[in-house]
Chains A and B, each alone.
Chain A
Amino acid sequence: MLDPGAIPSVDPAEVLARYVLFSGHFRTSDNSVKPNAFIPHPYADLSLTRHVAATDAELWAEGQRIAVERTATLYGRADVPANAFTTQGLRTVPDPLPENPNHAVVNEWPKDKPAQKLMAIQIASKATYLSAP
């Protein structure tokens, strides 16, 4: 994971993980993530974990930590390149947490629900869904 003392800005080529903790947020038919997983509301920010400097095991461990903390099941994660957000006019910002220095948020979402949905659809179309091990 990243050194908490030296957190770099998010590169557009970086991959970010969105943990899926609800079975209705992915399609079993073709193992893909639904746009619903990327709707930020009710909050202004969408929470993700950066892949940079993290091993695959560390990424899954972070997902499990979140699931345990929230008494939820970790179904999988959607990996998305940061530029899937930035090309929509959204900002990807490092937001290191004591328990996860790789934490980042995506902000500057439009308040208009249809516009949010369109962005979420386009982001989901560029995501790769991985089932939890």
Chain B
Amino acid sequence: MEFADILDRAAHQSRELLRDSILGHQEAFEELAAIWDRCRNAGWDGHEALAVEQDTYRGAYMLIDALPLGFPRPSLGAEPDGQLTLEWRTSPSRILSVSVDPDGYLHYAGLFGASKRYGSLTFFGTVPQELLQLVRSL
């Protein structure tokens, strides 16, 4: 192995460790897996919810994985339509909820004090800047 490769690998491992310690990726992945395990069958909420599909789980996993260093860790959840959610909340009136659907769309809505924002974004492996700015403005 070339010395440059060794340095690259070391740098990558350091980044992974740092990312996990700040963002808590590993914890988030474990929480996500636990939620998916409980929501894989229809009716998981006691109110006839749709099952969470594997593509939805994969999309949520990729979104968490793509969050930048030092980013606040979201609270994870599921919705009755089978979408998985990432939620950031600093108070009842400052909250952003992002739903991941199986087709690669992110549907978001948030309260930012007196103002409201909502819409849909596409996700292809890179977190949309608009979404990062919304979380930072909470």
Contacts and interface: CB of A to CB of B under 8 A. Distances in A.
Interface of A: 19, 21-22, 24-25, 27, 32, 34-36, 39-43, 47, 66-67, 70, 72-73, 113-115, 117-118, 120-122, 125
Contact of B97 (A22, A72, A121): A121
A118 B118 contact: yes
Contacts of A122: 111, 116
A43 B48 contact: yes
Contacts of B48: 42-43
A73 B80 CA distance: 16
Given A22-B49, A22-B78, A113-B81, 4 more contacts: A22-B45, A36-B80, A121-B95, A122-B111
A115 B118 contact: yes
A72 B48 CA distance: 11
Nearest to A29: B75
Nearest 10 Cβ contacts at the A-B interface: A21-B46, A72-B46, A117-B109, A41-B81, A118-B109, A114-B118, A22-B45, A113-B107, A118-B118, A70-B46
11 contacts: A22-B38, A22-B45, A22-B49, A34-B87, A41-B79, A43-B48, A67-B46, A113-B101, A114-B120, A120-B109, A125-B95
B44 interface: yes
Contact of B80 (A39, A66, A115): A39
A118 B39 CA distance: 23
A21 B107 contact: no
Contacts of B49: 22, 42
Contacts of A72: 45-46
A114 B35 contact: no
A117 B81 contact: no
A122 B110 CA distance: 9
B67 interface: no
Contact of A27 (B43, B75, B93, B99): B75
